[in-house]
């Protein structure tokens, strides 16, 4: 009796399989809150009306989501931007641009707790090439930023490309009315209130509370104060933050993925070398895609995704979006 041929993959499963199989599929790649203990909440009038979108207009000529795999971090970023229409689509001359990586932890790049420094450096370079007036790299770290910024490799890499690297200065937080369902008055690091464009560069990693931490969770890094209080209603706070920031572009660093024991990591056995990047203009779809591909998590496990859809922040149905897949090794 002849074997029954396997059923063809639908588009959703095909997209997931591409990301799961990207890069090397086996082997490793070889907390107190600093501000909450060292800063006072500003006693100032709330900054009202601070919310504004940093997004760019949709363009049917370019994909909503692109997946690039098989290269080094700078190559991945370059090709992802090319597929999405080039950096000039996102950054204009004289823009003040904030590049927002994850620099939360006192870890090395190999431990995959922070964004890859070469990815950050390449995005800084690209912003200058588009004529940016200023390029700032910053984050509000969980561990001491005086250790996180240099040990992550991000401070040195970003400065080498001419970025202004800002450690979170306790005097530079403004009490802001975030206008959220859960998040209302909260201190926000001032540069995020003044930027023309914001590029979100999270790393894909496991998280003990939400299952994973991706693009939307990376916005915790704009806040001061006692952020651990937000964990009591973490999904609602994630959506409030995503609604407040609305980035220009999101690029999820999947060069190394922290599969377990996140968000801090530390053990190289928990890290998988995937050599991939997932980028686009729909932050909900990006989070949904990466969460499903690496941790098999969907909206039932990640309530913030459905909440974000209800808020009009994006789509859960990533398989229905205009998507471009690029394998660099296959085209080199």
CA–CA dist 60, 201 (Å, integer)? 24
Question: Where in the sequence is the domain holding 260, given as residue range(s)?
Answer: 35-331
Tell me how far apart the alpha carbons of residues 111 and 221 are, in angstroms, rounded to a whole number: 19
Q: Which of 199, 247, 202, 240 is nearest to 223 (CA)?
A: 240
Express as a percent the part of the chain with pLDDT over 90: 80
> Would you say residue 41 has pLDDT above 80?
no
Listed in order, strand segments (DSSP E) in 80-215 are 96-101, 134-138, 164-166, 173-177, 185-189, 197-201, 203-207, 211-213
- Give yes or no for residue 331 having a pLDDT over 90: no
If phi > 0 it is left, if psi is from -120 to 50 it is alpha, else beta; for residue 238 that is: alpha
The CATH number of residue 240's host domain is 3.40.50.11440
pLDDT for 295-309, tens place per residue? 999 999 999 999 999
pLDDT band at 252 (very low <50, low <70, confident <90, very high): very high
Q: Is residue 24 part of a domain?
A: no
pLDDT band per the 50, 70, 90 thresholds, residue 32:
very low
Total structural domains within the chain: 1
Torsion-angle region of 9 (φ positive above 0: left; ψ -120 to 50: alpha; else: beta): beta
Of residues 332 and 249, which shows the higher confidence score?
A: 249
What confidence tens digit (pLDDT) does each residue in 264-313 have? 999 999 999 999 999 999 999 999 999 999 999 999 999 999 999 999 99
Please check whether residue 176 lies inside any domain of the structure: yes
In which band, very low, low, confident or very high, does the pLDDT at 8 lie, cut at 50, 70 and 90? low
Cβ within 8 Å of residue 330, ≥6 positions away: 70
Count of CB atoms situated within 10 Å of the CB of 296: 11
Residue 28 is assigned to a structural domain of this protein: no
| Cα–Cα distance for residue pair 252/282, rounded to 1 Å | 12
Contact 317, 282 (CB under 8 A): no
Q: What is the pLDDT of residue 47?
A: 53
d(CA 204, CA 214): 5
Over pLDDT 70: what percentage of the chain? 88
What are the pLDDT digits (tens) for 181-211? 999 999 999 999 999 999 999 999 999 999 9
| pLDDT greater at residue 213 or residue 39 | 213
Is residue 330 over pLDDT 60?
A: no
Provide the mean pLDDT of the chain.
90
Rounded to two decimals, what is the model's pTM?
0.90
In a domain, 157, yes or no: yes
Residue 309 resides in a domain: yes
Please give the backbone phi and psi of residue 76, each rounded to the nearest 5 degrees, phi first.
-60, -45
pLDDT digits 0-9 by tens, 42-79: 434 445 456 668 999 989 999 999 999 999 999 999 99
**And the tokens for 164?**
């202004």
The model's pLDDT over 134-168, given as tens digits with 9 standing for 90+, comes to 999 999 999 999 999 999 999 999 999 999 999 99
Tell me which residue of 22, 8, 53, 85 sits closest to 289, measured CA to CA. 22
Confidence of residue 4 (pLDDT cuts 50, 70, 90): low
Q: Is 240 exposed, middle or buried (0-12, 13-18, 19+ CB in 10 A)?
A: buried
- Please report whether residue 14 resides in a domain: no
Q: What is the pLDDT of residue 11?
A: 86
pLDDT at 24: 55
- Tell me: the pLDDT tens digits for 220-248? 999 999 888 888 899 999 999 999 999 99
Q: What pLDDT band is residue 128 in, cutting at 50, 70 and 90?
A: very high
Please enumerate in sequence order all residues whose Cβ is within 8 A of that of 31, keeping only pairs 6 or more positions apart, or say none.
Answer: 142, 143, 264
Residue 249 lies in a domain: yes
* 8 domain residue, yes or no: no
């Amino acid at each position: 009796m002849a074997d029954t041929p396997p059923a063809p993959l639908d588009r959703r499963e095909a997209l997931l399989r591409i990301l799961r199989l990207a890069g090397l599929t086996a082997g490793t790649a070889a907390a107190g809150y600093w501000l909450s203990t060292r800063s006072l909440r500003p006693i100032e009038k709330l900054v009202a009306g601070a919310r504004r979108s940093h997004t760019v207009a949709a363009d049917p000529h370019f994909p909503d989501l692109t997946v690039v795999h098989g290269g080094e971090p700078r190559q991945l970023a370059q090709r992802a931007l090319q597929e999405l229409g080039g950096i000039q689509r996102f950054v204009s001359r004289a823009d003040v641009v904030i590049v927002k990586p994850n620099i939360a932890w006192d870890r090395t790049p190999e431990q995959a707790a922070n964004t890859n420094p070469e990815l950050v450096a390449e995005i800084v370079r690209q912003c200058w090439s588009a004529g940016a007036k200023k390029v700032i790299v910053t984050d509000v770290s969980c561990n001491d930023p005086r250790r996180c910024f240099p040990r992550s490799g991000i401070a040195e890499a970003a400065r080498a490309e001419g970025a202004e690297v800002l450690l979170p200065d306790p005097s530079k937080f403004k009490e802001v009315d975030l206008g959220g369902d859960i998040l209302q008055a909260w201190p926000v690091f001032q540069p995020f209130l003044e930027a023309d464009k914001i590029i979100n560069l999270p790393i894909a990693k496991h998280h003990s509370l939400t299952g994973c931490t991706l693009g939307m969770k990376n916005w915790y890094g704009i806040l001061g104060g006692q952020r651990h209080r937000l964990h009591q209603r973490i999904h609602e706070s994630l959506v409030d933050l995503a609604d407040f920031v609305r980035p220009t572009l999101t690029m999820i660093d999947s060069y190394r993925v922290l599969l377990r024991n996140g968000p801090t990591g530390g053990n190289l056995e928990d890290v998988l070398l995937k050599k991939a990047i997932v980028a686009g203009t729909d932050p909900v779809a990006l989070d949904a895609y990466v969460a499903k591909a690496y941790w098999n998590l969907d909206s039932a496990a990640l309530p913030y995704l459905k909440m974000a859809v209800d808020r009009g922040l994006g789509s859960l149905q990533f398989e229905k979006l205009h998507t471009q897949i690029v394998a660099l090794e296959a085209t080199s």
